[in-house]
């Protein structure tokens, strides 16, 4: 039940915004190798009832400071640190606390060998979805090499494209 609904949201995002996702992501990203712009990531956000879906597609460079296989202990630690940050998305894209959103699914792919994009997606179940007003963005403080996030937003009442940056970190839902 849950997983099928999660997939439907993915398809919505994919169909609505024609962005790489899930199974298609790896193939698209490899073809698009170095088509990405370092410093600029993509964030897809969908709200459907009590479900909040967040999907991040970011150049590996922005999260790691390099875009090749880790060759030193420091680089291996950087990969571990980035993965740990991505596994705690509540600090990167925090839903309004009053909405009571609890993370129910997490998916992270880091394939730095090819300098493809890092991919992370999250699903939250929100107890009080009407209280969900915004995402509080900690992404740029966590990953200082990231300069911008292009956001595609899809809610039951709104479809919008906007851009976040260290100077403008408001993401109203």
Which residues in this chain contact Zn ion in the complex, by CB under 5 A? Answer: 59, 67, 115
- Distance in angstroms (rounded) separating the CA atoms of residues 159 and 72: 44
Query: In the chain, which ranges are E strands?
Result: 40-48, 51-59, 93-95, 101-109, 117-126, 134-137, 148-154, 159-164, 170-172
- Least Å from the CB of residue 29 to Zn ion: 10
CB-nearer residue toward Zn ion: 65 or 100? 65
For residue 115, the minimal CB distance to Zn ion (Å) is 4
CB of 17 to Zn ion, least distance (A): 22
Closer residue to Zn ion (CB): 10 or 36: 36
Residue whose structure tokens are 């956000």: 45
Q: How far is CA 4 from CA 10, 11, 73, 77, 156, in A?
A: 10, 11, 40, 35, 18
Measured from the CB atom, the residue of 54 and 67 that comes closer to Zn ion is 67
Residue nearest to Zn ion (CB): 115
Name which of 55 and 115 has its Cβ closer to Zn ion.
Answer: 115
Least distance from Zn ion to the Cβ atom of residue 43, Å = 18
């Amino acid at each position: 039940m849950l997983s099928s609904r999660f997939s439907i949201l993915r398809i919505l995002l994919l169909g609505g915004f024609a962005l790489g996702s899930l199974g298609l992501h790896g193939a698209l990203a490899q073809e698009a190798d170095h088509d990405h712009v370092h410093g600029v990531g993509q964030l897809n956000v969908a709200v459907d009832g009590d479900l909040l879906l967040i999907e991040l597609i970011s150049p590996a460079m922005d999260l790691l400071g390099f875009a090749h296989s880790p060759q030193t202990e420091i680089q291996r630690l950087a990969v571990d640190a980035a993965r740990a940050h991505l596994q705690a998305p509540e600090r990167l894209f925090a839903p309004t606390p009053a909405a009571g959103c609890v993370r129910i699914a997490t998916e992270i792919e880091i394939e730095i060998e090819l300098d493809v994009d890092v991919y992370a997606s999250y699903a939250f179940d929100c107890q009080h979805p009407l209280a969900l007003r915004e995402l509080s963005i900690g992404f740029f403080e966590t990953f200082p090499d990231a300069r911008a996030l292009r956001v595609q937003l899809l809610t039951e009442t709104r479809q919008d494209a906007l851009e976040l940056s260290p100077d403008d970190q408001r993401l109203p839902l």
